[in-house]
Amino acid sequence: MRKLIAHRGWSGKAPENTLSAVKLALEEPKIDCIEIDVHLTKDGVPVVIHDYQVDRTTNGSGFVKDMTAEEIKALDAGSWFDFEFAGEQVPLLEEVLVLAGGKKKLLIELKQMAGMYEGLEEKVIGLIQQYGLEAHCDLISFDHKSLQTCMKYSTKVNRTLVMLGSPVLLIDQVNEIGATAVSMNHLYVDQEMVTSLNNNGIDIVVWTVDQKSEAERVLGLDGAISLTTNHPERLWA
């Protein structure tokens, strides 16, 4: 069944990957799932932010891995979007899990890269298990090894492999890590790929679909494809 996924929370209406963006998505019945991104701080705390550096979405500067959770929490993550959100913080993953509380499924992207964040997978899954949310969270990543590592800590949390372009041996790559879905840019999805994934029982998620015409093209290939979007309101209008 097709699902509508709010990209980094409802990022068209609030600063991306903040509690405000997540809360807006939780309150809208037409949004099915919420996608967020997770990095690990210098002191080993999973935090919700997209970039490896804090520069673009906060008033700070530097790499997430070089800052403590306390230092990151002191940053303003809202003013860049709109003064209305001045003082918005970069949330801890734990805060998002508590806020969501199983009301909607969370797609948690592990921003792992060549083992940069030692222990990221264990800590993220530990928090998911602590709050009893294994059935309400999917783990997604570009990093094959990260998703394989996740299997050591939980076989209950579904995994989605994120791909760039039109990869070769796509089915083999997905099966190798035991993923249940593949996520890719909507521009690269065609009928041949959709048929192959469907025939192998692999779900399809596409990003980032912000225009009705884009959604219509993708859903014309397969009405069950899930759409990740910054602007959910444009797709149900």
Nearest to 232 by CA among 47, 30, 48, 46: 30
How far is Cα 136 from Cα 146, in angstroms, rounded to an integer?
19
Catalytic annotation, pick one of 7, 39, 186, 231: 7
231 is an active site residue: no
Burial (CB count within 10 angstroms: exposed 0-12, middle 13-18, buried 19+), residue 201: exposed
50 is an active site residue: yes
The gap from C-alpha 209 to its chain's centroid, in whole angstroms, comes to: 14
Catalytic annotation, pick one of 39, 50, 144, 231: 50
Nearest to 75 by CA among 92, 57, 93, 63: 57
Handedness of CA 109, 113, 116, 119 (dihedral sign): positive
Active site residues: 7, 50
